[in-house]
Structure formats: C-alpha cells, structure tokens
C-alpha cells in the first residue's frame, strides 16, 4: 500500500512556492522594520510610527501563510510516539484520522476568519491604515490552504511521508 516517491499535485507544489515566497518577503520586512526601529533610536528624524505596525503585521502574515505549507510538507508539530507504536493498516488509519481532524479544524478557522472579515469591514489599522479585511484574509487563506492540504493527506495516508527538512524547502 505504501508507494515511495509520492508527491503533492503540481498545483499544490506551485501554491507552496507562493506561500514560501510570501513568507520570505514577510521575514525580510520584519528584519528591515526592526533594523529601522533600532536606527531610529539614534537618528530621530527616521522615526516613523508605522514601522512597528508593519513588523507586527508581517509576523502575523508569516505565521498564518505558512500553515498550509507546513501541513502539506509534513512540517507541522506531531506526536511521533504513535508512529513508532502503530504499524501497517492501523498506522494508515491513524494518519487519515489525524489529517481529517486537521482539515476540520482548518475549515472551522476559515469559517471564523470569514465571519471576522464580515464583522469588521470598514475598519483600518491605526498607523498604516491597512483595511482590517486584508489582515483577516491572511489567516483565511492560510487555513484554507491547510484544509486543502489536509484533505490531500487523507487520501495519501497510505503513502510514506517525506521527512520535513527546513533547509531543503520544496
């Protein structure tokens, strides 16, 4: 039942590349924003209130946009003791049930993010004036990606997992 070399569909791999690119941009923005704040302590003319907000929201984007990527690439937190105790078909069932629970939780969080977008439409952030809908769209997108990838993992439960290696982001 286990087939080596199983890969995600090409669409999800391409979407994973986009998620990874957005995460790199967010990480770069965080680095530059924090550096800007440090420099502005010594050069008051560079002080800008929006830089702290930019760093904070970039951290939020980084966190939520990587949800789907990590679920799809076996990079999320797991309790691996079950992996060593359960073998064969039982292990496939455990992986499928785990992926189904993940998909359900992600779908519920998408639902909640959607309702937050509806509830807070028209509001903007204090310093940058970013519409709140845009900020709530990030978790909605990340959890939707996670739900899709978890559903794919349900059907791929019989296949061997590729170990996650952060140094070799695919």
Quote the CA–CA distance of 91 and 88 in Å, as a whole number.
5
pLDDT attached to residue 78: 67
Residue-wise pLDDT for 42-71, tens only, equals 999 998 989 999 999 999 999 999 999 998
> What is the predicted pLDDT for the residue at 2?
39
Residues 77, 96 contacting (CB under 8 angstroms) = no
Sign of CA dihedral 31, 24, 155, 161: negative
Percent share of the chain, pLDDT over 70: 88
Q: What is the pLDDT of residues 113-168, one digit of tens each?
A: 999 999 998 899 988 999 999 999 999 999 999 999 999 999 988 887 766 666 56
Q: What is the pLDDT of residue 3?
A: 44
What size, in residues, is the chain?
170
Model confidence pLDDT, tens digit, residues 93-111: 988 998 999 999 999 999 9
For residue 24, what are the CA distances in angstroms to 27, 29, 35, 95, 98?
Answer: 5, 9, 16, 30, 29
For 165, phi and psi rounded to 5 degrees?
-130, 105
- Rounded to whole angstroms, the Cα distance separating 167 from 115 reads 36
Taking each helix axis from N to C terminus, what angle separates 89-119 and 132-155, rounded to the nearest 10 degrees?
160
- Burial class from Cβ neighbours inside 10 Å (0-12, 13-18, 19+) for residue 127 reads middle
Quote the radius of gyration of the chain (alpha carbons, Å): 19
């Amino acid at each position: 039942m286990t087939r080596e070399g199983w890969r995600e569909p090409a669409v999800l791999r391409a979407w994973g590349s986009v998620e990874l690119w957005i995460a790199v941009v967010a990480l770069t923005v965080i680095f530059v924003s924090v550096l800007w704040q440090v420099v502005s302590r010594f050069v008051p003319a560079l002080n800008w209130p929006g830089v702290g907000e930019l760093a904070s929201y970039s951290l939020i984007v980084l966190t939520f946009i990587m949800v789907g990527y990590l679920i799809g690439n076996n990079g999320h937190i797991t309790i691996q003791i079950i992996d060593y105790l359960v073998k064969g078909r039982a292990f496939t069932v455990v992986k499928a049930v785990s992926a189904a629970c993940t998909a359900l939780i992600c779908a519920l969080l998408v639902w909640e993010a959607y309702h937050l977008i509806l509830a807070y439409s028209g509001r903007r952030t204090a310093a940058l004036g970013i519409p709140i809908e845009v900020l709530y769209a990030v978790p909605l997108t990340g959890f939707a990606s996670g739900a899709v990838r978890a559903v794919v993992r349900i059907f791929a439960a019989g296949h061997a997992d590729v170990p996650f290696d952060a140094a070799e982001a695919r």
